């Protein structure tokens, strides 16, 4: 296993040691329900509130705007459905999302359209996956409930101009949600500068544990709960606080922000070297924006001619390189990726290699060696040849 190489950090990146330590510490403390009035409960509650403050500070938000969730999917659902329902109560009849949103946003919006009779506009991106604020604004109507445009795309790594959208939507009085799940590890995220009303994060994308995320929901913007129960978090998110996960999330947020400038610069160097090496292989093209200012340093997405996509990812894995075909976050990844379709990207095969805080120069060397060998062998021998590929290197 030592020479296996993991370049799928956009799907999940390892938790940072500080976050793991915070998780363990909290689990070792006396257990109690954070909503209980007794001393043990209040100690657990203090841990949750400390984590909330850590997250709020990182986002330039008020702690009262932060709601802990089970991850990015729940945060997206809460924002889109919760804000959507509240706005329907005020007479809104229309939603605007980009066509390249994660299914947690896109399918929430489609569900609202199907079940609440809303009209839905899905704004197409440019060929690099960028969502043009002008096109979004053209779609907005007086009865638009909500706009949701992601800060950065999970498949192509394309970065959107959320601040421009926020400024223009605020003056129209239309709430803006942004999914910052992929952006947070390497991009500054500031809810005031962006003028967003709702924002989603997921801890396992920036060095926290799986199973915890954040919904920033600006106070004063009405939200209808998605799940009903004890109303623990601000009345919009019921369920016993997951104090250990929340504490680990708070610590991971702090570490991610402290290390972000260095990490961004390091991943840009590693990613450029990786991309340059991949492009040496015949019939390989890079997708997404060419300008590094418009893409995440962590994502390298390439199209490959003359090989079968599924066979390629399988063969790369057998040879020790773990990457993703499109986005690994939805089950059964074999169908065509909606992001590539929306951006009009045609390819025999496409893979996303994504880097994270544990990625080394050695990983890049290993990835290039495996990728080059596997693509050559698949082209020469077809899918049947990959059974020997475990021997690469």
What are the catalytic residues?
329
CB of residue 200 vs ligand PLP: minimum separation in angstroms?
6
Beginning with the edge strand found earlier in the chain, give each strand of the sheet holding 349-354 in spatial order.
284-287, 299-304, 349-354
104 sits near ligand PLP (criterion: CB under 6 A): yes
Closest CB to ligand PLP among 102 and 377? 102
Contact 191, 59 (CB under 8 A): yes
Comparison of 110 and 318: residue with beta carbon closer to ligand PLP: 110
Nearest distance in Å: CB 251, ligand PLP: 17
In the bound complex, what is the minimum distance in angstroms from residue 71's beta carbon to ligand PLP? 3
- Pick the binder of ligand PLP from 61, 65, 66, 73 (CB under 6 A): 73
Angle at 309 between CA 129 and CA 102, to 5 degrees: 35
Smallest separation, CB 28 to ligand PLP (Å)? 25
If the CB atoms of residues 256 and 389 are measured against ligand PLP, the closer one turns out to be 256
- Helix 243-278 to helix 17-28 angle, to the nearest 10 degrees? 160
Residues with Cβ < 8 Å from 280, sequence gap 6 or more?
A: 372
> Which one among 13, 77, 182, 359 touches ligand PLP, defined by CB under 6 A?
182
Query: Interaction with ligand PLP in 334-353: which residues (CB under 6 A)?
Result: none
What whole-number distance in Å separates Cα of residue 352 and Cα of residue 3? Answer: 20
Q: Are 305 and 121 in contact (CB under 8 A)?
A: no
Residue 90, number of CB atoms within 10 A of its CB: 9
Q: Can you tell me which of 202, 298, 354, 359 binds ligand PLP, judged by CB under 6 A?
A: 202
CA 120 to chain centre: 22
Q: Does 207 bind ligand PLP (CB under 6 A)?
A: no
By the rule CB under 6 A, 157 interacts with ligand PLP: no
By Cβ distance, which residue is nearest to ligand PLP?
72
Query: Phi and psi (nearest 5°) for 49?
Result: -70, -35
Site string for ligand PLP, 265-294 (x = CB under 6 A): ------------------------------
- Assigned token pair, 269: 């160097």
Output 112 or 183, the one with its CB closest to ligand PLP. Answer: 183
Alpha helices in the chain (DSSP H): 17-28, 39-59, 72-77, 83-89, 103-116, 133-139, 162-172, 191-194, 243-278, 309-318, 338-343, 361-381
Q: Among residues 54, 77, 154, 232, which is the contact residue for ligand PLP, using CB under 6 A?
A: 154
Candidates 48, 97, 150, 378; binder of ligand PLP (CB under 6 A) is 150
Contact (CB, 8 A) for 96 and 123? yes
Q: Give me the least distance between CB of 137 and ligand PLP, in Å please.
A: 22
Q: Which stretch binds ligand PLP (CB under 6 A): 18-26, 66-74, 162-170, 215-223?
A: 66-74
Rounded to whole angstroms, the maximal C-alpha distance in the chain is 69
Q: Output the DSSP codes for 233-282.
A: BTTTB-S---HHHHHHHHHHHHHHHHHHHHHHHHHHHHHHHHHHHHTTST
Give the C-alpha separation, 366 to 153, whole Å: 26
**Pairing label, strands 299-304, 284-287:** antiparallel
Which residue do the tokens 């040849």 mark? 385
Element (H, E) at 145: strand 144-148
* Closer Cβ to ligand PLP, 154 or 160, answer by number: 154
Q: Does the footprint of ligand PLP cover residue 160 (CB under 6 A)? A: no
User: How far does Cα 256 stand from its chain's mean position?
Assistant: 14
Q: Is 109 in the site for ligand PLP (CB under 6 A)?
A: no
Query: Which one among 67, 217, 253, 329 touches ligand PLP, defined by CB under 6 A?
Result: 329
Q: Specify the residue, 222 or 239, whose C-beta has the smaller distance to ligand PLP.
A: 239
CB of 257 within 8 A of CB of 61?
Answer: no
Assess 178 for contact with ligand PLP (CB under 6 A). Answer: no
- Piece of the chain touching ligand PLP by CB under 6 A; list 69-77, 187-195, 240-248, 300-308: 69-77
213 binds ligand PLP (CB under 6 A): yes
Of the two residues 65 and 179, which places its CB atom closer to ligand PLP in the complex?
Answer: 179
Q: Which residues bind ligand PLP (CB under 6 A)?
A: 71-73, 76, 102, 104, 150, 154, 179, 181-182, 202, 213, 329
């Amino acid at each position: 296993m030592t020479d296996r190489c993991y370049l799928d950090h956009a799907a999940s990146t390892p938790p940072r040691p500080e976050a793991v330590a915070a998780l363990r510490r909290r689990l070792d403390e006396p257990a109690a329900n954070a909503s209980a009035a007794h001393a043990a409960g209040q100690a657990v509650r203090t841990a949750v509130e400390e984590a909330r403050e850590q997250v709020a500070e990182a986002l330039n938000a008020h702690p009262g705007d932060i709601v802990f969730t089970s991850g990015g999917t729940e945060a997206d659902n809460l924002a889109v459905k919760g804000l959507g329902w509240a706005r329907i109560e005020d007479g809104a009849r229309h939603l605007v999302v980009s066509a390249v949103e994660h299914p947690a946003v896109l399918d929430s919006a489609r569900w609202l359209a199907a079940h609440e009779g809303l009209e839905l506009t899905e704004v197409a991106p440019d060929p690099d996956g960028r969502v043009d604020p002008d096109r979004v604004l053209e779609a907005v109507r007086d009865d638009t409930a909500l706009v949701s445009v992601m800060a950065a795309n999970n498949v192509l790594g394309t970065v959107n101009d959320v601040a421009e959208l926020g400024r223009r939507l605020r003056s129209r009085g239309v709430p803006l949600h942004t999914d910052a799940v992929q952006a947070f590890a390497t991009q500054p995220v500031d809810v005031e500068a962006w003028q967003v009303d709702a924002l989603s994060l997921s801890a396992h994308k920036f060095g926290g544990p799986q199973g915890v995320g954040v919904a920033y929901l600006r106070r004063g913007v009405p939200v209808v709960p998605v799940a009903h129960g004890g109303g623990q978090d601000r009345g919009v998110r019921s369920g016993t606080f997951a104090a250990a996960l929340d504490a680990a999330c708070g610590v991971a947020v702090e570490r991610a922000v402290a290390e972000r400038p260095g990490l961004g610069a390091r991943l840009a160097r590693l990613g450029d070297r990786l991309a340059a090496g991949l492009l040496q292989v015949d019939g390989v093209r890079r997708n997404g924006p060419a300008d590094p200012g418009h893409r995440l340093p962590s994502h390298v997405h390439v199209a490959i001619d003359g090989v079968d996509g599924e066979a390629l990812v399988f063969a790369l894995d057998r040879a020790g390189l773990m990457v993703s075909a499109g986005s690994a976050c939805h089950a059964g990844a074999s169908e065509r990726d909606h992001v590539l379709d929306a951006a009009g990207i045609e390819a025999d095969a496409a893979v996303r290699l994504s880097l994270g805080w544990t990625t080394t120069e050695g990983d890049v060397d290993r990835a290039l060696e495996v990728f080059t060998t596997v693509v050559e062998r698949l082209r020469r021998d077809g899918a049947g040849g990959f059974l020997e590929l475990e021997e690469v290197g």
